[in-house]
Structures are given as C-alpha cells and as structure tokens.
Structure 1
Amino acid sequence: MSFWRVILSIICPPLAVLDKGCGSILIVFILWCLGWIPGVIAALIILNNPNR
C-alpha cells in the first residue's frame, strides 16, 4: 500500500480501490455515502488485504 493510495483513500475512498474490482468499488461507495469515516475505513481495509 503506497503513500499516495492512503492519501487518495482519505480524500476519495472509491477512487483508491478502482483496480480492486466492481464489488469493492460499490461497497466503498455505499459506505462513503453513508458517512465519510466508514468509507475510509473500508478502503484502507481493502487496500491492506493482500489477497485481493
């Protein structure tokens, strides 16, 4: 997980997970719409997961 990905996930979480697949983008986008903090947390978890 690079420094720029972390910054991007704080600013706009759906953009940080663009290369992780449609499901990840959709989950992060919905959580981001419900609140900024859940979207950021979900994006950081998805980016930190080495299996995806």
Structure 2
Amino acid sequence: MYGPAFTTQAIFLYVLALFIPPVPVYIKKGLSWDVGLNVVLWFCGWIPGVAHAWYTIARNY
C-alpha cells in the first residue's frame, strides 16, 4: 500500500487542498510537472484540482 495516509501532516494537506489545491502538491512534490498539471486541472474546475491534489498527497508517503 502507500503508507499512512492519515497522519497529522496529511490531514492538514487534505484540508488545504480544499481551498488551494496546488499548494499541497507543491509541498509534496516540489516544483515539478505535477504542480503545473494541478494548476491546469484547478482552472478547468475545482473538483479535478482537488481530486488530483488528494491523489498526490495519498500517493507520496
């Protein structure tokens, strides 16, 4: 599996992703193509941006 997805840090990132999805992606991945993809998804709609941010947070432990 991916590891502990519900640590205090992860919960904070999940909540932050509800408001500004690219920020938690940047925190987890640094300045990478994932941040650019998240910005594009966020501009296409709020839900795709949040879903990608949550996926990135859960995947990167």
Q: TM-score, normalised by structure 1?
A: 0.85
Structure number with greater Rg is: 2
Structure 1 stretches of 4+ moved >6 Å: none
- Structure with higher helix content: 1
How far has the Cα of 1:38 moved from its partner? 0.3
Unpaired runs of 5+ in structure 1?
Answer: none
Superposed CA RMSD: 1.4
Please tell me the residue identity of whatever aligns with 2:24: A
Identity across matched positions, percent: 29
Determine whether 1:40 maps to 2:39.
Answer: no
